[in-house]
Amino acid sequence: MEHIISGVAKFQKEVYPSKKAAFQKLANGQNPEVLFITCADSRIDPNLVTQTEPGELFICRNAGNIIPPHSNQTGGMTASIEFAVAALGVSHIIICGHSDCGAMKGAINTEGLSSLPHVKEWLGHSRVATEVVKEKCGCAELNNNDHLGLVIEENVVQQLQHIKTHPAVAAKIATGQVKLHGWVYDIESAEIKTYDEATGSFKPVEDTDVETLAKQSK
């Protein structure tokens, strides 16, 4: 914990002074362009991997980057998504899964979660991904060696479906005001793959994507 406290002191003394104007501008409001939903895993730093600054990403995190389908029961994800989309007016939503995801390992092996009842219940929202992978592979059971990567990708695809059930999101998508993006981040190589709805597959982010996005946002 000591290095956390000394980190705060370093931030205040060394980092803050060089960015004081930016923080003063942010002090009275935020206008993020992107709602970034990812796993709570400690190895993911959304601002680092996207090279963005405070104020640019509205970030929601949980185990497994899961978005429960809309229901009339209020939860933290539901409220945060509604606020980001309907109040802040974000124009992009990125759902970002990642390599070696412990939550997806849990979704594959739910029997190992008997001492973690809430985790087990939460990962029920990823069951759709494990069932799809089982069907595609023709396997009765999944395992981490052969199927983890597929489950991680399929979970992102299914959470993209779940978020569309949220009324605020559906309304903005229907009118072209919000675009959805599915990503998988590889911790070891820093590669980020994006979901291509047309082909139903993930492909690496390339320079061409950056150019296309730049044109779209003009």
Q: By CB under 5 A, name the one of 66, 81, 84, 101 that touches Zn ion.
A: 101
Q: Amino acid letter at 81?
A: I
Question: 41: annotated binding-site residue?
Answer: yes
Using the rule CB under 5 A, give the single segment among 48-56, 74-82, 96-104, 172-180 that binds Zn ion: 96-104
Contact status: 96 vs Zn ion (CB under 5 A): no
Instruction: Give the three-state DSSP class for 40.
Output: coil
**Comparison of 32 and 97: residue with beta carbon closer to Zn ion:** 97
Phi, then psi, of 127 in degrees rounded to 5:
-60, -30
Contact status: 153 vs Zn ion (CB under 5 A): no
Q: How many of the chain's residues bind Zn ion (CB under 5 A)?
A: 4
Residues between 37 and 56 with contacts to Zn ion, criterion CB under 5 A: 39, 41
Angle at 154 between CA 182 and CA 93, to 5 degrees: 20
Residue of 156, 202, 162, 181 whose CA lies nearest to 36: 181
Using the rule CB under 5 A, give the single segment among 85-93, 100-108, 139-147, 165-173 that binds Zn ion: 100-108
Take residue 110 and report the two structure tokens written for it: 């739910």
Pairing relationship of beta strands 57-62 and 34-39 according to DSSP bridges? parallel
End-to-end CA distance of the chain: 45
Question: 101: annotated binding-site residue?
Answer: yes
Smallest distance from the beta carbon of 100 to Zn ion, in angstroms? 8
| CA separation for the pair 56, 90 (Å, rounded) | 10
Using the rule CB under 5 A, give the single segment among 36-44, 114-122, 132-140, 189-197 that binds Zn ion: 36-44
Binding residues for Zn ion, rule: CB under 5 A, are: 39, 41, 101, 103
Residues annotated within the binding site for Zn(2+) are 39, 41, 98, 101
